[in-house]
Amino acid sequence: MAGLYVHLPFCRVHCAYCPFVVSTDSRLQGAYCTALVREIEARGTGEPAETVYFGGGTPSHTAPEHLIRIAGAIRSGFDVDPGAEFTLEANPEDVTAEAIAFWRSLGVNRLSVGVQSFHDAELRSIGRVHSDVMSFRAVQTARNPLRLNLDLILGLPHQTARSYRDSLAAAIDSGAGHISVYMLDLDEETALKRRVETGIVRLPEEDLVADLYLETVATLRRAGLMQYEISNFARPGEESRHNLGYWRRQPYHGFGAGAHSFVGERRFANPRDMRRYIDGHFTPEIDEILGDVERRRELLFLRLRQTAGIDYDDLLELGGEEVSGWIEDGTSEGWLRCEESRVAFTPSGFLVSSELLSRLF
Q: Residue 311 pLDDT > 90, yes or no?
A: yes
Question: Who wins on pLDDT, 33 or 354?
Answer: 33
Question: pLDDT tens digits for 56-68?
Answer: 999 999 999 999 9
Q: Residue 357 pLDDT > 90, yes or no?
A: no
**Is 45 contained in some domain?**
yes
**In terms of domains, do 160 and 83 share one?**
yes
Give residue 132's domain range.
2-246
End of a domain among 191, 211, 246? 246
Question: Exposed e or buried b for every residue in 324-346, given b needs 16+ CB within 10 A?
Answer: eebbeebeeeebbbeeeebbbbb
The pLDDT of 311-333, averaged and rounded, is: 89
**Is 286 contained in some domain?**
no
How far is residue 1's CA from residue 4's CA, in Å, rounded to a whole number?
Answer: 10
DSSP state of 23: B
Domains identified in the chain, total number: 2
**Is 193 contained in some domain?**
yes
**In terms of domains, do 27 and 155 share one?**
yes
**In terms of domains, do 144 and 231 share one?**
yes
**In terms of domains, do 214 and 309 share one?**
no
Mean pLDDT of the chain: 95
**In terms of domains, do 21 and 114 share one?**
yes
End of a domain among 246, 274, 303? 246
CATH number of the domain within which 346 lies: 1.10.10
**Is 17 contained in some domain?**
yes
Find out whether 282 and 303 touch, Cβ atoms under 8 Å: no
**In terms of domains, do 93 and 240 share one?**
yes
Find out whether 252 and 262 touch, Cβ atoms under 8 Å: yes
- At residue 83 the predicted structure's pLDDT band, cuts being 50, 70 and 90, is very high
Find out whether 229 and 306 touch, Cβ atoms under 8 Å: yes
Find out whether 53 and 242 touch, Cβ atoms under 8 Å: yes
Find, among 61, 149, 146, 65, the residue nearest to 107 by Cα: 146
pLDDT at 187: 81
- Please tell me whether residue 79 adopts helix, strand or coil conformation: strand
How far is residue 291's CA from residue 38's CA, in Å, rounded to a whole number?
Answer: 31
**In terms of domains, do 175 and 229 share one?**
yes
**In terms of domains, do 144 and 8 share one?**
yes
CATH number of the domain within which 151 lies: 3.20.20.70
**Is 266 contained in some domain?**
no
DSSP state of 94: G
Pairing of strands 226-229, 252-255: unpaired
Question: Who wins on pLDDT, 339 or 9?
Answer: 9
**Is 279 contained in some domain?**
no
**Is 282 contained in some domain?**
no
End of a domain among 213, 246, 279? 246
Q: Residue 358 pLDDT > 90, yes or no?
A: no
Question: pLDDT tens digits for 116-148?
Answer: 999 999 999 999 999 999 999 999 999 888 999
**In terms of domains, do 159 and 303 share one?**
no
Question: pLDDT tens digits for 267-279?
Answer: 999 999 999 999 9
**In terms of domains, do 241 and 123 share one?**
yes
**In terms of domains, do 56 and 138 share one?**
yes
**In terms of domains, do 113 and 236 share one?**
yes
Output phi, psi for 42, to 5 deg. Answer: -70, -35
How far is residue 247's CA from residue 298's CA, in Å, rounded to a whole number?
Answer: 9
How far is residue 186's CA from residue 287's CA, in Å, rounded to a whole number?
Answer: 26
Find, among 168, 325, 309, the residue nearest to 230 by Cα: 309
Output phi, psi for 342, to 5 deg. Answer: -110, 145
Strands (E), the chain: 2-8, 48-56, 79-90, 110-116, 147-154, 178-183, 226-229, 232-234, 252-255, 260-263, 266-269, 286-289, 310-311, 336-339, 342-345
**Is 317 contained in some domain?**
yes
